[in-house]
Amino acid sequence: MAPKKVQICFLETCCTGGYMAAGQWKTDEDVSSTKDTLEYYTDLAKLAEKGKVSAIFFADWYGGFEIYGGSMDAMLQAGHQVAHLDPLPIVSAMAAVTKSVSFAVTMSTSYENPYVLARLYSTLDHLTKGRCAWNIVTSWSKCAANALGQENVIPHDERYDMADDFMDVTYKLWESSWAPDSAVWNKSTGVAFDASKIKKITHKGKYFSMAGRNQVHPSPQRTPVLFQAGTSKSGAAFAVKHAEALFLNTSTVAQAKKVIADARAAAAARGRDPKSIKFFPCIVPFIGRTEEEAKAKYEHAKKHADPVAGLGQFSGYTGIDMSQYPLDEPIDLSKANQAMAIQSVFRALEASESASGPWTPRRLGIKMALGGLHPSPVGSVQQVADVFEEWATEADCDGFNIASVTNPGSWKDTIDLLIPELQKRGMYWDDYEVPGGAFRENLYGAGQKGLRDDHYGSAFRWGMEIPEPEVVEEEKGSMPEPAVLPARATVAAHG
């Protein structure tokens, strides 16, 4: 059987300093402290395109984390997940120096306005010639809520109900406000846009109401490629309805296999082709020409890792102040309140409670500082490629979101070492499916610029009767809670 082909995305944020690895900016070779320059991003885009990387995926959030020790001091001092630029203006510059690599930008349905967001992504889709995606998030942190003028985070499940309503507004604006043949530009008649083919959208939902046309005419993809990340019960129900691709933080093959199989089954139950949802678990590999070289890279990174910043990051993701626990005593977070948390962080923590015994804050801090709770194989290029192959065949993922520890060292190792090995194994394309094409074409195949017919959003196309909102309660029941699975020692859990 032909090996399964995978795609690779680079996982980034625009925070100046560390993102998935804390403390590496202190080394001479690391460029993370230049993440406030345009050159950093244009160089990264060119590098990604050289390796035929599918997309650069920008995680993003508001506020920063003030949980560890009750302040942001530890994160600021460590230069970790702070000094956080807005990715949107940056992406235009990256698109200008590339032709095929795509860009996924995160935005929150809990804080943005759907009309404004629709215009932003329509703009980005025009300027990138269809190379953009929206990573839909609902936001979890109280710090973000406070920064944006709210006293508290909207309750977990309600955020997803709100997101559902938000999506209907954006589909209406992207898919049905302008007819496909509304742009005329007829020099003899003097008609630019056929006004009879551009309609005003009205929406009266539980959370959002609006009346107006999409301010921007149809872009190559109309609706950007839709990514999503939450895997709680309501998050997963939202994902199988709206997402075309999922960014996973799963720490073991067994955990990912279950999440992916459940989501594909739920997608099929909705009438979607289960293979049409693409799964991209995050992975943070340490790759060497030999195993010894990889181990040396790992040890070098460990020497500079900042475990306190790692714990600060964990506190930010979970809302738990990790400074309150003794460093070397096992921690039990099973009773922790998860209402203001990225719930899958707990699942990843449980699934990776492994081989090396229960987590202590010290070990957790080091693990977080060296790539987080994601798999982080350390090995020769063949060994790391074996891990990728196992995830692709066993867990049935479609690609990987690779985060860097050393910057740009980890990206360069991916391009110079790993991708050629995956190509040799027939697991990676020699060129983009559609060079210069839209992101959706490179995910699904030539010609598929718009939403697939089996996607919920396609029912909003011009000329179709716009669907009534679905009853969200019923959907939630259709997805099982993500299971807590035993750990499997397929990937070295270091730290």
Ligand X SMILES: Cc1cc2nc3c(=O)[nH]c(=O)nc-3n(C[C@H](O)[C@H](O)[C@H](O)COP(=O)(O)O)c2cc1C
Where along the sequence are the contacts to ligand X (CB under 6 A)? 59-61, 106, 108, 137-140, 229-232, 235, 247, 249, 342-344
Which residue, 17 or 235, is less far from ligand X as judged by CB?
235
- To the nearest whole angstrom, how small is the minimum distance from the Cβ of residue 143 to ligand X? 11
Q: How far is CA 207 from CA 66, 101, 103, 149, 164, in A?
A: 29, 35, 29, 18, 10
Angle between helices 343-351 and 253-269 (to 10 degrees): 130
- To the nearest whole angstrom, how small is the minimum distance from the Cβ of residue 473 to ligand X? 17
Could you check whether the bond before residue 408 is cis, i.e. omega within 30 degrees of 0? yes
Which residue, 6 or 283, is less far from ligand X as judged by CB?
283
- To the nearest whole angstrom, how small is the minimum distance from the Cβ of residue 90 to ligand X? 15
The position carrying tokens 């993809």 is 221
Which residue, 101 or 345, is less far from ligand X as judged by CB?
345
Give the separation between CA 451 and CA 431, rounded to whole angstroms.
Answer: 23
> Beta partners for 95?
none
Which residue, 285 or 437, is less far from ligand X as judged by CB?
285
> Beta partners for 191?
186
R_g over Cα of the chain: 22
Which residue, 160 or 178, is less far from ligand X as judged by CB?
160
- To the nearest whole angstrom, how small is the minimum distance from the Cβ of residue 249 to ligand X? 4
Angle between helices 156-171 and 114-127 (to 10 degrees): 60
Which residue, 223 or 343, is less far from ligand X as judged by CB?
343
Give the separation between CA 93 and CA 91, rounded to whole angstroms.
Answer: 5
The position carrying tokens 């693409």 is 278
Q: How far is CA 454 from CA 166, 262, 272, 311, 450, in A?
A: 20, 18, 5, 42, 11
- To the nearest whole angstrom, how small is the minimum distance from the Cβ of residue 270 to ligand X? 18
Which residue, 246 or 384, is less far from ligand X as judged by CB?
246
Please count the residues of the chain. Answer: 495
| Closest alpha carbon to 251 in 367, 169, 138 | 367
| Closest alpha carbon to 297 in 380, 182, 397, 374 | 380
- To the nearest whole angstrom, how small is the minimum distance from the Cβ of residue 290 to ligand X? 32
* Contact criterion met (CB below 8 Å) for 239 and 230: yes
- To the nearest whole angstrom, how small is the minimum distance from the Cβ of residue 109 to ligand X? 9
| Closest alpha carbon to 97 in 136, 59, 43, 146 | 43
Which residue, 239 or 438, is less far from ligand X as judged by CB?
239
Query: For residue 202, what is the enclosing H or E element?
Result: strand 201-204
Which residue, 63 or 218, is less far from ligand X as judged by CB?
63
Which residue, 370 or 381, is less far from ligand X as judged by CB?
370
- To the nearest whole angstrom, how small is the minimum distance from the Cβ of residue 358 to ligand X? 23
The position carrying tokens 């809302």 is 319
Which residue, 170 or 214, is less far from ligand X as judged by CB?
170
DSSP 158-169: HHHHHHHHHHHH
CA dihedral sign, ordered 399, 312, 356, 288: positive
Strands 245-248, 286-288: pairing kind: unpaired
- Going through 34-159 in order, the beta strands assigned E by DSSP cover 55-58, 102-108, 132-137
Give the separation between CA 318 and CA 67, rounded to whole angstroms.
Answer: 9
- To the nearest whole angstrom, how small is the minimum distance from the Cβ of residue 480 to ligand X? 14
DSSP state of 462: T
Which residue, 235 or 409, is less far from ligand X as judged by CB?
235
- To the nearest whole angstrom, how small is the minimum distance from the Cβ of residue 139 to ligand X? 4
- To the nearest whole angstrom, how small is the minimum distance from the Cβ of residue 422 to ligand X? 23
- To the nearest whole angstrom, how small is the minimum distance from the Cβ of residue 493 to ligand X? 18
| Closest alpha carbon to 491 in 299, 370, 294, 354 | 354
